[in-house]
Amino acid sequence: MFYHNIDPTLFRIGPLEIRYYGIIYALGFLIAYFIIYHIANKRNLNLTKDDIADYIFYLIIGTILGARLFEIIFYEPAYYAANPLKMIAIWQGGLSFHGGLVGAVLAGYLFCKKKHIDLYDLADITVIPLAFGLFLGRIANFINSELVGRITSLPWCVYFKNYTGCRHPSQIYESLKNLIIFTILWNLKEKQLKKGTLFWSFVLLYSSIRFMIEFVKDPGSIGFILGLTMGQWLNIAMFFVGLYFLLKINKTEFNP
């Protein structure tokens, strides 16, 4: 077992705190810039370095807004209703992946419309560094002692501050899941696949594996809804949307 005593703050300057959480997220977007630029060049997309920088900016805004809104609406509505000023304290954690994905897709759509680019051209590239960024992000969640697992007696369980019992390090499980997804997508990127296949493959892989991990994850203040966590219900919806579009993209047309 492990006793979690990691200070989530790297250093303080007066009232200003520099947290590992923010640094890791910033690192994730920086890595995304280089990976997207590298693959976009190999695929001969008409995008300059400045275009990629603009695209990353769109993604940052869309991801943060969407992730925070979903966290407030679906996961902790009572807490944020009682503490409205905490809604803007994103450096303390509390970002929903599902909301971040929706926000990123909307931001990407606006960018692609402005630049007259096919959304799938960028979406297929973006999910590769996204998976790696999520791998880093779940490590940040572990450092923050948030999104903890359920109580267990397994030898690798963790005692988190402000939580009773020794718990599954579900953040680490999710981090490894995202690393696996990144590896799969990285190896598929050179294949001759139809546009959108990589993006929707990511959606299917993420939603199905996370659905299983949710069985060892603490349901939070919302608890269970018809026997499942909020995350599992969102993953079910995500899975079927992904399956529909993946089949639609790759269907074989009947030629009599």
What is the predicted pLDDT for the residue at 254?
Answer: 39
d(CA 21, CA 10): 9
Give the pLDDT confidence score for residue 83 in this predicted structure: 76
What pLDDT is recorded for position 253? 43
**Looking at residue 22, what is its pLDDT?**
84
Q: Does residue 60 belong to any structural domain of this protein?
A: yes
- Asked if residue 256 belongs to a domain, the reply is no
Q: For strand 9-13 and strand 16-19, is the pairing parallel, antiparallel, or unpaired?
A: antiparallel
The contacts of residue 102 (CB under 8 Å, 6+ apart) are 66, 70
Q: Other CB atoms closer than 10 Å to residue 140's CB: what's the count?
A: 23
Structural domain count of the chain: 1
Average pLDDT for runs of 10 along the chain of length 256: 88 82 87 93 90 93 88 77 74 74 94 93 95 93 91 95 94 97 95 93 96 92 86 94 93 50
Residue 132 lies in a domain: yes
HSE-CB for 222 with a 13 A CA cutoff: 21
Q: Would residue 255 count as lying in a domain?
A: no
Does 83 reside within a domain?
yes
- Amino acid present at 175: S
Q: Which residues span the domain enclosing 191? A: 2-250
